[in-house]
Structure 1
Amino acid sequence: MTTRPFTVADVMTTKVVAVLPGADFKEIVAAMDRWKVTAVPVVESGGRVVGVVSEADLLLKEEFHDHRLGLVEQMRHLDATAKAGSRRAGDLMTSPAVTVAPEASLPRAARLMAAHRVKRLPVVDASGAIRGIVSRADLLKVFLRPDDDLAAEVRRDVVEHLFPLSDRNVEVRVDAGVVTLSGEVRDTALIPFAARLARAVEGVVDVRCDLTARGRPQPGPPR
């Protein structure tokens, strides 16, 4: 295999909207509105990420605006009520922030988002300094790869790799991200691996494997 797997660095947005811990409530809301984002990283001097303020954090102020809680309820919602009474990013933020490294794989980033129920992750280097933002939409960018690119990669890194003696007998077609492998190969034991490796190519939506053993008669039309 020669193709390097896609990493977070390949799809992340490098233009980052961030705020300092001392940013006030309205400043945060204005930044989100201006840049059409649902969360902003909170960074210290030097760009080190210390937390994230999301729309959910800010909406707590509206949720508890006209609602007086009893002592028991306050204890149950201690963190939420504290944020509802706060004005600065350093008090409103969720900390520590869930972050990801630039060299992390796209499945790794997707798993982090799912596990922590977040829509975007700050991308940080080894020192914790911010280098970008990766969102759910960014992770889907690989599915925009042209069909011709996918076909070329499947042929080079799957077909030629597994079937060097019969690769010319294999046809690779890609339509809307769906790969079809057809033709005859010598080593039928490798056919399941071909389908699996083709499906692992970044941007492939699905794989149809119609490979058969070389010299095996093809089924005729139904009677």
Structure 2
Amino acid sequence: MSNTLLAKSAITCENCNLERLCIPKGLKRSDIGDLKLVVNRNNIRQKGEAIYHAGSPFRGIVALRSGSAKLLSFDRNGNEVIVDFILPGELLGFDGVSLQAHNCTAVALETVNFCHLPTQQIAALSANTPGFYQVLLQRSCSQFDAQVEKVMLSRRSAEARVAAFIVQISERLKLRGYSDTEFRLSMSREEIGNHLGIAHETVSRIFHHFQALDIVEVRTKRLKILDKKKLFGFLH
């Protein structure tokens, strides 16, 4: 077995580099030891493959370890609506809790590796592990807060929406320990436009406009923030 495979097989909740972002955040070290025994790790999906489908039974919470995904729903005409983009260390699956069936579909934007906490283990951990239920509730509430912000943003100009999107991705990447000024956008212009409620041509036009103002530098899917102050200026 190669050293790479050995390294991957040795990764647990205790030594994962996303520990502070994932479910273990807020738990005691002893509690994390209980969690690692029930989490299913190293689940792989390729670009375009579903992590779960709308209508499928709720089988637990998913935490992305690498790669990114989109969470999508469908309107009454069957058109795809992108609810959110999910980055490593972030959780999926809360859309299936209330009805015990998912009302969204989660699709990999690139190759993803994720951990899965089965439904039956959630109740046991909530009862036996101090703080686990509270941490899980906090994570679900933070996603709700993000959706509220998205609704408020939908009333803003297209420039403000794109600026807010760039800032949000930047801040989330910074939280993961990556550069917050230069990064790759795994989603297409069409997907960004879908998520923000504007045409993909408008997204491209605004990117070019920001580039002309020396706010960002865009090369295909690579984006570099040149002037954060000007970028934040579109949010006020």
Is TM (by shorter chain) over 0.5?
no
Q: TM-score, normalization: structure 1?
A: 0.28
State the structure with more CA Rg.
Answer: 1
